Amino acid sequence: MHLIWLEDFIELARTRSFSRAAENRFVTHPAFGRRIKALEQWVGAELVVRAHPVSLTAAGRLFLDAATHSTDVLYAARAQLQDASSPVEKTLRVATGRTLARTFFPDWYESINQRFGPFPVSLSTGGAQEVILRLGTGDADLLVIYSSPTTRLLIDPMRYESLTLAREILLPVAAVDAKGRARFKLPAAGTAGAAALAPIPWLGFSQSLTLRGVLAKHLAGLSRKIALRMVYEADSYESIHEMARRGAGVAWLPQRLVQEDLSERRLKIIGEPEMRVNFDISLYRMRGNDNALVNAIWEGVSADAIEQA
């Protein structure tokens, strides 16, 4: 049994709606439903009546008291133990995406370590909804994430504040042949009849990846549409990266992820500059955070942003 299931159940009892509770818990409706079902299986009884609005069974009303009491006790105990720890020994908890953990976080962590001195850090990775939830439940002090329409929709600006850490670019890339030429080409967006050309094999982002919305918005805004044929879709930038290296199709990937392949000429940037997509890497924290190290890092990042402006 997971503590997160208890929190899901409490939110469902509060909202009386699977869709609203799932949205508030930063998880998809189907995934939320599976977690409630898993909790019922663990308890050994049905807890909710799946109607509109949702209501609790007799067992659900009884279990709600236990769930609420248990979570209150556990979080109170954790807060007490954290307060008793020496501030110097407190670990900075950072949640981020798997790709950012590899391509961006090490350099950023090194830079703040040099500025503020050595300190322990605990890095957790996952999908966008998963890491946003960790920030919301207090399991992370900071969130480092790609900025996109999805993240801006999921993160309530009334509860969280953000800063821009760095700029990033989605680059259209393709593998090269034996002569160093790109295996695939993109027509210029303004080329007459571009959409009538044979569709280009495309390695796409699944719905769970935050940059899917960024790319879709950019492609939709081009003056002429590009004929793309989806041949592969994944919820991992690294998986798409590997397929691009194998020559399976065209892919738009973060510059930091492909820069080594570009230097080694295993991948090549294709298309006109207008095919490239600019976006931000953002830092989030909950408003009112009283962690001294978090506040120091936040002020340092803010100062850097002002200097660069």
- CA–CA distance, 215 with 205 (Å, rounded to integer): 9
53: cis peptide before it, omega within 30°? Answer: yes
> Which stretch of 110-124, 148-162, 172-186, 293-307 has the lowest confidence by average pLDDT?
293-307
State percent of the chain over pLDDT 90. 55
pLDDT digits (tens, 9 = 90+) for 66-100: 899 888 888 888 777 766 654 445 789 999 999 99
> Would you place residue 143 in the very low, low, confident or very high pLDDT band (cuts 50, 70, 90)?
very high
Mean pLDDT of 285-289: 88
pLDDT digits (tens, 9 = 90+) for 8-22: 999 999 999 999 898
> Which stretch of 193-207, 221-235, 248-262 has the lowest confidence by average pLDDT?
193-207
> Would you place residue 207 in the very low, low, confident or very high pLDDT band (cuts 50, 70, 90)?
confident
> Would you place residue 148 in the very low, low, confident or very high pLDDT band (cuts 50, 70, 90)?
confident
Mean pLDDT of 2-12: 90
Residue 169 has pLDDT above 60, yes or no: yes
Residues 6 or more apart whose CB falls under 8 angstroms from that of 278 comprise 167, 168, 169
pLDDT digits (tens, 9 = 90+) for 47-61: 999 988 999 999 999
Is 251 or 306 the better-scoring residue by pLDDT? Answer: 251
Q: What pLDDT sits at residue 309?
A: 47
Range with top average pLDDT, 16-25, 143-152, 187-196, 264-273: 264-273
* The three-state (H, E, C) secondary structure of 150-169, written as one string: HHHHHCCCCCEEEEEEEEEE
Residues 6 or more apart whose CB falls under 8 angstroms from that of 191 comprise 224
Q: What pLDDT sits at residue 189?
A: 54
Question: Are 205 and 243 a contacting pair, CB within 8 Å?
Answer: no
Q: Which helix (H) or strand (E) holds 121?
A: strand 121-125
pTM: 0.71
- CA–CA distance, 106 with 166 (Å, rounded to integer): 14
